[in-house]
């Protein structure tokens, strides 16, 4: 489990594509243990061949279908977060690292020292995107500031988030990984099951 609080941005140093998926070499200041879970742009991956300058991860075909990790190029910045320890501080929201789909950044506006980022609401996930609710975008825990009639939603990005994450590199049209709030999914499943038990009433 993760919290959506990005520890740092790493850099893609090497990419090895084959018929089974993609292996990425990521330069980073922290050294995850071999076999440890690391969220890379919000996707939970397993660290392999870690050393003092970074680590490798393998991205399976299934993950490539759900994310935009297959579009990464050498030199790209990626958001990194290690799995939350049992006694860790919980600052974001519950993030599984199971990316649901991707969406696109539609606009960026600077407002004073902050930024307002606008994203398309992914098809089929409209019910999970609500004002003041939580979403995870490229592994960042964010709060939906406002829903818009054009099918987009906006989030406020403070300078700290802008500087620590890959959002400082984002431009309109760029993809992001999207994970809906798991709590919302559980509520939907529980309430839906209860309603089914009463004939949908």
Q: Give pLDDT tens digits for 42-92.
A: 999 999 988 889 999 999 999 999 999 999 999 999 999 999 766 666 666
Structural domain of 107: 101-188
Q: What is the pLDDT of residues 93-118, one digit of tens each?
A: 788 899 999 999 999 999 999 999 99
Residue 116 is assigned to a structural domain of this protein: yes
Let me know if residue 137 belongs to a domain: yes
Is the domain of 136 the same as that of 176? yes
Number of domains, the chain = 2
Which of helix, strand or coil describes residue 199?
coil
Task: Tell me, yes or no, whether 58 and 106 share the same domain.
Answer: no
> Residue 159 gets which letter from DSSP?
H
Considering the domain boundaries, does residue 87 fall inside one? no
Assess whether 36 and 115 both reside in one domain: no
Question: Is the distance from CB of 39 to CB of 139 less than 8 angstroms?
Answer: yes
């Amino acid at each position: 489990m993760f919290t959506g609080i990005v520890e740092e941005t790493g850099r893609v140093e090497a990419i090895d594509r084959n018929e089974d998926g993609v292996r990425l070499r990521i330069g980073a200041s922290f050294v995850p243990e071999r076999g440890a879970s690391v969220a890379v742009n919000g996707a939970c991956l397993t660290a392999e061949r870690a050393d003092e300058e970074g680590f490798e991860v393998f991205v399976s075909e299934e993950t490539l279908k759900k994310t935009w990790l297959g579009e990464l190029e050498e030199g790209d910045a990626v958001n990194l977060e290690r799995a939350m320890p049992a006694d860790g501080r919980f600052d974001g929201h519950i993030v599984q690292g199971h990316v649901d789909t991707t969406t696109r950044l539609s606009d960026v506006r600077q407002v004073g020292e902050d930024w307002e980022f606008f994203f398309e609401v992914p098809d089929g996930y409209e019910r999970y995107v609500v004002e003041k609710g939580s979403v995870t975008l490229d592994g960042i825990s964010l709060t939906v500031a406002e829903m818009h009639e054009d099918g987009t939603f906006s989030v406020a990005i403070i300078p700290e988030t802008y500087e620590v994450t890959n959002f400082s590199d984002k431009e309109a049209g760029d993809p992001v990984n999207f994970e809906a709030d798991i709590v919302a999914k559980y509520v939907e499943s529980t309430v839906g099951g209860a309603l089914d038990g009463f004939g949908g009433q």
